[in-house]
């Protein structure tokens, strides 16, 4: 009973780390490469490698009912750290340099 509960908690924890890493990777891929140097951060390629490897490690850390669990636990914690550093430090710095389209509502003036 206790072992099953421990496995379930570990599974939820690893899925949360994987979800966090995927969120960081998707956000990174949506940002333009020119925004990173403009914000004073490392290049998009650098962060892409860091977050991509972190996502792969997080995927490989999911336990057997869903995943394969071939990487050690401490590596999954390092992948969580990489994703958190991107989301907390790099993402807010790059955000102002990301072009957003203006909302396309019917209330815009001008045009036809």
19's tokens: 């979800």
Q: Specify the pLDDT at position 109.
A: 59
At 24-83, the pLDDT tens digits run 999 999 999 999 999 999 999 999 999 999 999 999 988 877 777 787 888 899 999 999
Are 82 and 50 contacting, i.e. CB atoms less than 8 angstroms apart?
A: yes
Q: Specify the pLDDT at position 70.
A: 81
Q: Specify the pLDDT at position 107.
A: 56
Are 78 and 61 contacting, i.e. CB atoms less than 8 angstroms apart?
A: no
Are 73 and 62 contacting, i.e. CB atoms less than 8 angstroms apart?
A: no
Q: Specify the pLDDT at position 106.
A: 56
């Amino acid at each position: 009973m206790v072992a099953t509960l421990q496995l379930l908690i570990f599974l939820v924890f690893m899925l949360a780390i994987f979800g966090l890493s995927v969120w960081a990777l998707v956000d990174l891929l949506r940002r333009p490469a020119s925004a990173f140097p403009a914000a004073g951060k490392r290049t998009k390629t650098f962060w892409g490698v860091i977050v991509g490897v972190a996502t792969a490690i997080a995927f490989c850390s999911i336990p057997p009912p869903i995943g394969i669990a071939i990487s050690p636990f401490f590596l999954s914690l390092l992948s969580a750290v990489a994703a958190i550093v991107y989301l907390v430090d790099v993402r807010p710095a790059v955000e102002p340099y990301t072009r957003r389209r203006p909302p396309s509502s019917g209330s815009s003036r001008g045009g036809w």
